[in-house]
Amino acid sequence: MQKRLNHVAIIMDGNGRWAQQQGLSRLKGHEMGARAAKRVVQLAKDRSIPFLTLYAFSSENWARPQDEVEGLFNLLERFIAEEIDELNESGVRIRVIGDMSRFSDHLRGTIQRTMDLTRDNEALNLAIALNYGGRDEIVRCTRRLLEQGVKPDSVTEETISGMLDTSFMPDPDLLIRTGGEWRISNFLLWQLAYTEIYFTHTLWPDFGAEELDRAIQWYMGRQRRFGRTPEQVRGEDR
Ligand code: IPE
Ligand code: IPE
Ligand code: MG
């Protein structure tokens, strides 16, 4: 039986090192990273993956030099402006996860218009993680629960899942991290509880169909046990 692959999440890492290897500026690396992201959105759609989440800017990335941070946000606005029509026409629904309260009114407006425009699309659900941190998300979620006066006994795992930024999607089945670092970097801490994790040395701007298919192939070969024994799971698959 073919394993389900409902949700792929990607930590798009390695733009800076890619640029350095080519003797280019880090910003050029991010530009090529944006192209890779565009490629992967189409590939995911072609492979009928319903949910794709891309980690574009972490809550810790503000610590980078100011010109890099500004360059990244300019690139994002440009990317949305240039690609939105094509994405919309190809049926991609776009949502942003993360804390948007720190963004300019202009960027918030752009994000809102993008989400509204693509609201009825169904070919692929794309979530872009922007100023996203897993711990920050849990803090914001906890505050919301307290504000709503939710009674302690009524808090379940479902309550929390339903309050997180990702409430509209299932937990990721597969996480891919490019760039050769074997860590999570504060991404989807709650949601990755049972996700299969694929690490690759490939730098993000070089990521394409071949590497995506390798990751999917690897995922298909995993036995997901969710705490049970290998024998139990084999029995159920039969
Ligand atoms: C990932 O590439 C993009 C962002 C974090 C915004 P990096 O910029 O982290 O690239 P490296 O890790 O320095 O090579
Ligand atoms: C993770 O990459 C964040 C994104 C890809 C957006 P980083 O480059 O920020 O991660 P660390 O700092 O090396 O862990
Ligand atoms: Mg990095």
Domain definitions of the chain by residue range: 7-133+170-237
Centre of ligand 2 to C-alpha 134, Å, is 13
Q: How far apart are CA 161 and CA 134, in angstroms?
A: 12
pLDDT of residue 1: 52
Structural tokens at position 82: 């240039």
pLDDT of residue 3: 83
pLDDT of residue 237: 72
**Which carries the bigger pLDDT value, residue 155 or residue 237?**
155
Using a 6 Å cutoff on CB, does residue 128 contact ligand 2?
no
Using a 6 Å cutoff on CB, does residue 185 contact ligand 2?
yes
Give the phi and the psi of residue 10 in degrees, each rounded to 5.
Answer: -130, 130
Query: For residue 72, which of 127, 25, 116 has the smallest C-alpha distance?
Result: 25
Band of the pLDDT at 197, cuts 50, 70, 90?
very high
pLDDT at 107 over 70: yes
Q: Does domain 7-133+170-237 correspond to CATH entry 3.50.50.60?
A: no
pLDDT of residue 66: 98
Q: How far apart are CA 27 and CA 48, in angstroms?
A: 32
Burial class (CB in 10 A: 0-12, 13-18, 19+), 126: buried
Query: For residue 202, which of 231, 227, 178, 229 has the smallest C-alpha distance?
Result: 178
Average pLDDT of 132-137?
Answer: 98
pLDDT at 106 over 80: yes
Centre of ligand 2 to C-alpha 36, Å, is 16
- Nearest ligand, CA of residue 129? 2
Pocket test for ligand 2, best of 58, 128, 187 (most atoms within 8 A of CB): 58
Using a 6 Å cutoff on CB, does residue 16 contact ligand 1?
yes
pLDDT digits (tens, 9 = 90+) for 11-20: 999 999 999 9
Centre of ligand 3 to C-alpha 155, Å, is 36
Average pLDDT of 197-215?
Answer: 98
Q: How far apart are CA 10 and CA 53, in angstroms?
A: 6
Using a 6 Å cutoff on CB, does residue 132 contact ligand 2?
no
Helix (H, G, I), strand (E, B) or coil at 196: strand
Centre of ligand 2 to C-alpha 47, Å, is 27
pLDDT of residue 2: 67
How confident is the prediction for the chain on average, in pLDDT?
A: 97
Instruction: Give the residue, by CA position, lying nearest to ligand 2 atom 11.
Output: 185
Average pLDDT of 216-224?
Answer: 97
CA distances to 23, 189, 202, 226, 232 from 194, in Å: 39, 11, 24, 7, 17
Active site residues: 13, 61
pLDDT of residue 142: 98
pLDDT digits (tens, 9 = 90+) for 33-88: 999 999 999 999 999 999 999 999 999 999 999 999 999 999 999 999 999 999 99
pLDDT digits (tens, 9 = 90+) for 138-151: 999 999 999 999 99
Instruction: Give the residue, by CA position, lying nearest to ligand 1 atom 6.
Output: 57
Check the CA dihedral 46-209-116-191 and report its sign: positive
